[in-house]
Amino acid sequence: MASTHKYTLPALPYAYDALEPYISHQIMTLHHDKHHQAYVNNLNAATASHVQALEKSDVQAQIALQQAIKFNGGGHINHSLFWANLAPASSPSAKTEAAPKLMDALAEKYGSYEKFQDEFNAVLLGLQGSGWGWLVKKKSGELDIVATKVHTFEAMIVMMREDANGLQDQDPVVGAQPVFGVDMWEHAYYIQYFNDKASYVTGIWNVINWEESERRFLEQVGQLKL
């Protein structure tokens, strides 16, 4: 049987308690060691099964595996991006000054950084169930805020959002560059904030890694190593 790439859990680039008081030590430990690890394990199992299905030319089995690969692969991609786009609040990376070009682009697109935050917060709090909010750079170079349900960043299923005319926008964004993402699954905040997800959303702005976000915005990061 052909061997397949083994995905591994990336180490956190800071200590488990480094994002306190905004994200607790306990959340980070569970989120990284248990949840992310489970996505990695399940992705490895699914890709190994896919190799077997390919060898047997079993198309049905390959299609049946798509959901598991999308879900667990998405979980691995999203969390890997997420850890890297967070930073301890006291670090220089967590200051908006670390992203001068991105800040200019946000001000141009949204009017001001504060207005961008308001809009981003509204998208995060408008998610119905588990999902993520992302700032992305589209192929056109334009910034956009998208919400993705479950773990489908690659597919970029953009949830219905009202535009200025009150219409629904379901156009999928394809091939966008993620600048930073915020996990809105309940496991990302529940043991610290309970049902008060607005406080989690308010707090997380203190630990966004603007240095990393600037690099992604300027497309200096290359492809995500998984």
Partner 1 sequence: MSFSRLAIRPIVAASGSRRLATSAVVVKHKLPDLPYDYAALEPSISAKIMELHHSKHHQTYVNSLNEAEEKYAAALHAGDVTAQIALQPALKFHGGGHLNHSLFWENLAPKSSGGGTPPGGALAKAIDATWGDYGAFKKVVNASLAGIQGSGWSWLVKDKETGQLQVITLPNQDPVTGKYVPLLGIDAWEHAYYLQYQNRKAEYFGAIWDVINWKAAEGRFKV
Q: Which listed residue (64, 167, 198, 226) binds partner 1 by CB under 8 A?
A: 167
Site string for partner 1, 22-41 (x = CB under 8 A): --------x---xx--x---
Residue 222 found at the interface with partner 1 (CB under 8 A): no
Q: Which listed residue (195, 219, 222, 225) binds partner 1 by CB under 8 A?
A: 195
What the block records as the tokens of 32 is: 């990284």
CB hemisphere CA count around 202 (13 angstroms): 5
Residue 205 found at the interface with partner 1 (CB under 8 A): no
Q: What angle do CA 145, 146, 147 make, to 5 degrees?
A: 135
For tokens 């915020």, the residue is 182
Helix axes 37-55, 59-84, angle to 10 degrees: 150
Minimum distance between the CB of residue 35 and partner 1, rounded to whole angstroms? 6
Distance between CA atoms of residues 73 and 40, nearest Å: 8
Contact of 69 with 98, CB cutoff 8 Å:
no
Instruction: Give how many residues touch partner 1 by CB under 8 A.
Output: 25
Q: What are phi and psi of 134, to 5 degrees?
A: -135, 140
Residue 170 found at the interface with partner 1 (CB under 8 A): no
Among positions 103-162, residues that touch partner 1 (CB under 8 A) are 128-131, 149-151, 160, 162
Minimum distance between the CB of residue 171 and partner 1, rounded to whole angstroms? 16
Distance between CA atoms of residues 208 and 83, nearest Å: 10
Residue 150 φ/ψ region, left for φ over 0, alpha for ψ in the -120 to 50 degree band, beta for the rest? left
Choice between 166 and 175, CB closer to partner 1: 166
Residue 194 found at the interface with partner 1 (CB under 8 A): yes
Amino acid at 104: D
Residue 190 found at the interface with partner 1 (CB under 8 A): yes
What the block records as the tokens of 71 is: 């879900």
Minimum distance between the CB of residue 149 and partner 1, rounded to whole angstroms? 7
Using CB under 8 A, list all residues that contact partner 1.
Answer: 30, 34-35, 38, 67, 71, 128-131, 149-151, 160, 162, 166-168, 185-187, 190-191, 194-195
